[in-house]
A and B are shown apart, each in its own frame.
Chain A
């Protein structure tokens, strides 16, 4: 039997690149997570103690996990709901649909640095537009320090995420709505269903798979939250540069990983342990969402 070698030859470039740039770093990171290593002095094997320290000694790891989940809960449902609602409105729009589509999608392709600037200027304590408006109309007596209060800081990061990402959800939903057979919409209309009824009885259930896809990808993206809080507190636009914002309220897991590995410290082994722990959490959440949506289906 002659074996066909061409598949192997064609797969080799990808597999080589994958092995070199993905698989090897992943495995090496795990190996590194078992050591205390700062890149300068010799590696020192510590077993699982980096992982144990994360949950027992490091008061910021659990806090960063809490912040990440909290900001995700504040932004993810809004993203999905707003995305779907705006998509539905645009879907039934007769004129100017493309203009609105582009306008809503633009923030998604805006560079995070620019987003950092925009939000810093809006929420700045002394010269921010929001404080200017609120004090001008007498709603506030004096400027409120939005970026230095833990809860308002989290809210601002959540708003940044929604502002940036809901356009993406909208586009995916819009394509999902286009894919639904036109006959179904017509049948509903003949049966006397209004637009609201059509939305809840047809669009929402038929777009379930799209929603699950968006939920899982947004959750994975949410756990990797980094750009928005960093741009707000450590980027070019940041005034008082600080890691994690006021009282570490917007310190996310990836930011903590970055700070421990390459920022305030160079604890590379510890950083690798954070990365692996996050990997396990993301894996577990993805599996949970997957099976949860499958169970409801059956």
Chain B
């Protein structure tokens, strides 16, 4: 009898070990990041202005506030840069002590896969979902994000920085997320090279010299001549193509009809023209050489979204303090990168989730926290006219940019003029195809605009077999 009991216990233990062995915890996911949106651990300038409960009442003006201490609940966020998010959470909890925000690290690379598989298998999704530009359109088309203009959120779109509105909207114009930060682009450049080859390092004058792509081409030829071909205008052809895709804001998706000709002809034309003129470097975008090129003295201009100065430029050109500036790209600013925060439609803690989003990402005080902690620019427009406005305050990397006020450029000049469009899943596909084809465009000089366009269409068709490519 005793032997039997032992056997049963052992059998149960074996079964249990097999079953538990198959389990896996989300919390084991390592925080990793691969885009410029990530790793903002550097600035820890906690502001002394700690808010009290009374401040929370009018942080945004989009919702009448209850007593923050009465709000309870647990809100889960999946983020690839949990460290930065946690700093915001700590600020939030000073005012909302009874809301528990759980920041769970999910690698950038795995984010969409994990989200989709969790959704398909009926597992819990986070209350707050991040939508990086690389997959935002796909996320919005999944239909799992709440419209933030509806109750209980009641967001007022007029209070959002205008260029951000399309970027957080689906094709029907519903606002499905808040921008983590406003992300208009500029062209950063090296002051010493600009002085030597353009005759000036003044942002306004340099911007005027490259007012359009034809002017950019001409300047490039002169630089090439002056330097004996050593100095190029930009590092990679990918930089040109990415900029021109961002600039060519057209309504190219109509159901399953995708007008790649309309969307890509102009960008490819400009890119091939730049390639043929030999004014762009032969470096593969996002390669180790591309990053090290920030410290090289062979390239004048670098594509620079608002997040690039602290996260990419300062980190890759550690000796370059004071030698950088930023100006308007040829033919104007455009959007580069960015991440949205959306509320899951089946979340059981929508009010708490929104309280957090509103407090940090859509309020004057939240904007101020962000600016001081990370240098991010809030998408809450009234922040820039409020007592917390950063417009006359020195930003974390202004010194690195020779004292130029980056907030004045990005918020004052670039954002109001940046061309932006609502996101569809085809934007993510175009981004994939752009990355896979650029090396071919760079190396195969026989590819002209027409051929480049054909290749692009073919690739989009492979990735979206259901689409009718035009």
Contact of B443 among A17, A57, A148, A263 (CB under 8 A): A148
Give the interface size class of chain B.
35 or more
Contact between chains at A148 and B439 (CB < 8 Å) = yes
| B154 proximal to A (CB < 8 A) | no
Contact between chains at B34 and A148 (CB < 8 Å) = no
Contact of B284 among A9, A21, A239, A244 (CB under 8 A): A239
Q: What does DSSP make chain B's interface, helix, strand, loop or mixed?
A: helix
Contact between chains at B143 and A125 (CB < 8 Å) = no
A147 to chain B, nearest CB (A): 8
Contact between chains at B440 and A246 (CB < 8 Å) = yes
Known contacts A127-B289, A264-B463, A10 near B436 by CB under 8 Å = no
Contact between chains at A266 and B18 (CB < 8 Å) = no
| A14 proximal to B (CB < 8 A) | yes
| A243 proximal to B (CB < 8 A) | yes
Q: Which residues of B contact A239 (CB under 8 A)?
A: 284-288, 290
A116 to chain B, nearest CB (A): 13
Q: What does DSSP make chain A's interface, helix, strand, loop or mixed?
A: loop
A260 to chain B, nearest CB (A): 10
Contact of A240 among B14, B120, B288, B435 (CB under 8 A): B435
Contact between chains at B439 and A246 (CB < 8 Å) = yes
| A241 proximal to B (CB < 8 A) | yes
Query: Chain B, 429-467, contact with A by CB distance < 8 Å: what is the 0/1 string?
Result: 100100110111001000000000000000000110100
Q: Which residues of A contact B438 (CB under 8 A)?
A: 240
B206 to chain A, nearest CB (A): 27
A-B pair count, CB < 8 Å, reads 94
> In the bound complex, what is the Cα–Cα distance between A40 and B288 (angstroms)?
38
Known contacts A13-B15, A239-B290, A240-B284, A266 near B116 by CB under 8 Å = yes
Question: Which residue, of B19, B117, B429, B436, has the highest number of chain A Cβ atoms within 10 A?
Answer: B436
Contact between chains at A241 and B429 (CB < 8 Å) = no
Q: Which residues of A contact B1 (CB under 8 A)?
A: none
Contact between chains at A39 and B120 (CB < 8 Å) = yes
The size of the chain A interface, using a CB distance under 8 A, is 36
Question: Which residue, of B286, B287, B290, has the highest number of chain A Cβ atoms within 10 A?
Answer: B287
Give the nearest-CB partner of A268 in chain B.
Answer: B120
Contact of A40 among B19, B119, B287, B435 (CB under 8 A): B119
Q: Which of B246-294 contact A (CB under 8 A)?
A: 282-290, 292
Q: Which of A216-258 contact B (CB under 8 A)?
A: 236, 239-244, 246
Q: Which residues of A contact B238 (CB under 8 A)?
A: 240
- Chain A to chain B: the 8 pairs with minimum beta-carbon distance, closest first: A242-B436, A39-B120, A239-B287, A13-B15, A126-B289, A17-B18, A13-B14, A148-B439
B residues contacting A by CB (< 8 A) are: 7-8, 11, 14-15, 18-19, 22, 34, 113, 116-117, 119-120, 142-143, 238, 282-290, 292, 429, 432, 435-436, 438-440, 443, 462-463, 465
